[in-house]
Structure 1
């Protein structure tokens, strides 16, 4: 089969944008299917009579649009249609589907009542500065102290002024990435990672490199090999069971990765959203290498979804950088929510909610083991999900489609994957997103799909 190539006779100024448009049309029209490897930049430049810089800018434009992914040492590849904007979860609840696609903590009516009572407290105790001030420094210092005290109890010792308070993990991740990696720089992460990290790096013009993992997380030798190439600026980690495969990285492995980062002068972004919910957890990266770790700790996954506050702890030398990045992207966290979190930490509500969540998840994991039986899946006792690797020959997208046809929504592994190298088709199944009865029925439907035919669905016409 002849692979489509651009027509140099139709290029116009600016040439890089015209070339990118040709590729974009070919991708949309199906002339360049997903997985197609684009020509090396130098070869394409020679074939079209363009400069390598022009071709490089065209490829960067395609990456920015989410049409192509670039992998150092391998080349540039066409992404599946809609790959950039397709979240792993349902955008909204659909009545006919049991939704096991979105990662949420277990919630009951008790959580609604707790939130209502908390908001009543805020209404009665909200300070004038929290209600009226535009200046974070006049509102948040006392809450930074509360955060520092909490973090110290849970293994991260930092000064209050090194803490940026944000409206949840997404805001904290964005601020951390912008603080750690300059435009055009390279960030590394496990080959299966946070689904929002992928489009975020595209939007920011960053290169995102996938690192292989084993049963203990990111393989140190792979990080060292990539760092030796001299282009890497930072490493993004989810070492404590919140990652797609629910891996809990040991303290020894964390120390090895910290030593490599120190040797190559890399920053580390540690997403530690489960934090206090995991008893006897390994030492946080922020305690092993406080001089280079940006540590993220939030509460939407451990207490209740509406408590959208997260803390970003930065090394002292870049704390002001992180504060500035947060100012230009979010300005400041919502003061009323921060007031509520600080109050709930002080009166013990957060501790009670976390303990409740831990016990609720134990029940959810028992249901998963009971329904799925001998089916092998990856999980951690405090993970909000399980990771189900599919049998050889089963396609994850087709598996998700068959599940929806039967009445259950789950998340395809594609949304979390940085590289097709060593791909193993898999799905993520959330355990906390619905009632126990619906979870039981939804997992039974997943088991039916798993044990049924792998014949592709016929299109509805």
Structure 2
């Protein structure tokens, strides 16, 4: 069956490629079919061999065909968009274990940024090139200006550095500022991937007690006296997993203790915190002893693996060395998208949309389980303490069998911190409110 070129505009090779592509997409030409040789097709259509050659090259670029040397050009087996973009590791049921940002208007902002980029050849040329870890001036200035406005500060260029998300930032810090066998203090209940990173790098991790006001200063003092740690890792704005916030008094106490014992504070600010509950970071109060780890994964989209460090100027050299050893530099293409969203107001718009959706989801939580305590930050996660008759591990297993995934509190325990009878529910795991309602209804049936 010959492709029909009549009525198609543009160069003949483009028209021929488009005609063949349409026939393949419509199923008129099946996968595995061998296309006519270039000479024969040129004779049949009355075009030059060069036209057919370019058309076949275009089809190959479109992913429609495969050229086999000495044999010819064959139609490739193609996947539908649903199949092509389907996760390799997908699970059925309701996911209350995955802490991810809600997708609200991000797709439109992605479309707008890419369309804008298409009309800027200078930008395209710049973001496709190699750079040092310092990157591009405009990108650095954009991030710094955004942070200065957000923190009411005056950060200098040498204090800000891009990373591939928060987890990459934490790994860079551990590599740059600690050695095998060094002690790192953390909250007794801690972000699991940080625990794994310390184990992988052979850093000793020591828990510090927490309560409904965050890290307990008295226990921090005791652990500093006992272990002489190099770092203190904590999540003051939204504790992961309990969602409590470090009180103002404790912040000052912790800074004072860390100064006395020459302990560097690693402040993880990755977790989403609603605008009305945000506090100024420790890095703005004690900039000389604090490294702040930020990310846009929770505030915009999980697939945008871009984060940043705000660091004391005297630590820039070792941190840059560690950064270069892991990735040389962060992709300027991803950073450029982030900067466009920061400048256009898209980041702020998505922030507000996420906050609005979270309020709705917490109303659903209240209807199905319980009203959150006043000290709990209403972010992505909710820490559900279980009554003694329901053990967390058993509840987690039971829920899994009923098609609902949650995280047991034991997954967040550091060392010998103790038995924790609680589960973490990620209210943003379900993609719809109806799915969240269904999941919480099953949780309620298992814990009441």
TM over 0.5: yes
Q: Does 1:411 align with 2:407?
A: yes
Which of 389, 399, 402 matches 2:398?
402
Q: Distance in 1 between matches of 2:361 and 2:178?
A: 38
Match of 2:267 in 1: 270
| 1:235 counterpart residue number | 232
Asked if the contact 1:362–1:381 (Cα under 8 Å) also holds between the matched residues in 2, the reply is: no
Counterparts of 1:420 and 1:135, CA distance in 2: 42
- 1:324 matched to 2:297? The reply is no
Contact 1:143 1:338 in 2 (8 A): yes
The answer to whether the Cα contact below 8 Å between 1:236 and 1:269 also exists between their aligned partners in 2 is yes
Distance 1:445 1:209, change over 3 A: same
1:239-250 equivalent positions in 2, closer than 5 A: 239-250=236-247
What aligned pairs does 1:280-429 form with structure 2 within 5 A after superposition?
281-373=278-370, 380-429=376-425
SS at match of 1:429: strand
* Structure 1 residue 244 displacement after superposition: 0.3
1:15-54 equivalences in 2 (<5 Å)? none
Matches within 5 A, 1:429-440: 429-434=425-430, 435-440=432-437
CA deviation after TM superposition for structure 1 residue 113, in Å: 2.9
2:90 corresponds, among 93, 105, 113, to: 93
Q: What is the distance in 2 between the residues matched to 1:265 and 1:378?
A: 34
* TM, length-normalised to structure 1: 0.74
One of 227, 236, 249 as aligned partner of 1:252? 249
Q: Using the TM superposition, give the Cα deviation of residue 145 of structure 1 relative to its aligned residue in structure 2, in angstroms.
A: 1.5
1: CA distance, partners of 2:244 / 2:277: 15
Q: 1:170 aligns with which of 155, 167, 171?
A: 167
Aligned to 2:58: none
Shift in alpha-carbon separation, 1:167–1:447, aligned structure 2, 3 A:
same
Q: Is 419-428 or 345-354 further displaced after alignment?
A: 419-428
Shift of 1:128: 1.9
Aligned to 1:206: 203
- What's the TM-score once normalised by structure 2's chain length? 0.76
Q: Determine which of 99, 109, 117 is the counterpart of 1:114.
A: 109
SS of structure 2 residue aligned to 1:433: coil
Q: What's the counterpart of residue 133 of structure 2? A: 136
Q: Kindly tell me the number of residue pairs found equivalent between the two proteins.
A: 358
Give the CA deviation at 1:320. 1.4
Q: Deviations over 1:146-191 (max 9, x none)?
A: 1111111122542122212011111111112223322221100001
User: Any idea what SS the aligned residue of 2:113 has?
Assistant: helix
- Deviation track 1:89-134 (CA, whole Å, cap 9, x = no partner) reads x994323x111110011224x3223223323333443342320214
Compute the RMSD of aligned alpha carbons. 2.1
Gaps of 5+ in 2: 1-86
Distance 1:173 1:238 in 2: 12
Contact 2:245 2:375 in 1 (8 A): no
Change over 3 Å in CA distance of 1:92–1:100 after alignment to 2:
farther
* Shift, 1:347, TM fit: 1.1
> CA separation in 2, counterparts of 1:341 and 1:103?
21
1:188 maps to 185
For the pair shown, the structure with the greater C-alpha radius of gyration is: 2
- Contact 2:273–2:379 at 8 Å: present in 1 too? no
Name the CA distance, whole Å, in 2 between partners of 1:298 and 1:406: 34
Alignment of 1:145 onto 2:141: yes
> Residue 109 of structure 2: SS of its match in structure 1?
helix
Are the aligned partners of 1:212 and 1:218 in contact in 2 as well (CA < 8 Å)?
yes
**Residue 323 of structure 1, CA deviation:** 1.2
Question: Shift in Å at residue 420 of structure 1?
Answer: 3.8
Structure 1 residue 199 displacement after superposition = 1.2
Cα separation, 2, equivalents of 1:248 and 1:213: 11
- For the residues of structure 1 that align with 2:250 and 2:423, how far apart are their CA atoms? 26
Distance 1:91 1:408, change over 3 A: farther
Q: 1:13-42, CA deviations, whole angstroms, 9 ceiling, x for partnerless residues?
A: xxxxxxxxxxxxxxxxxxxxxxxxxxxxxx
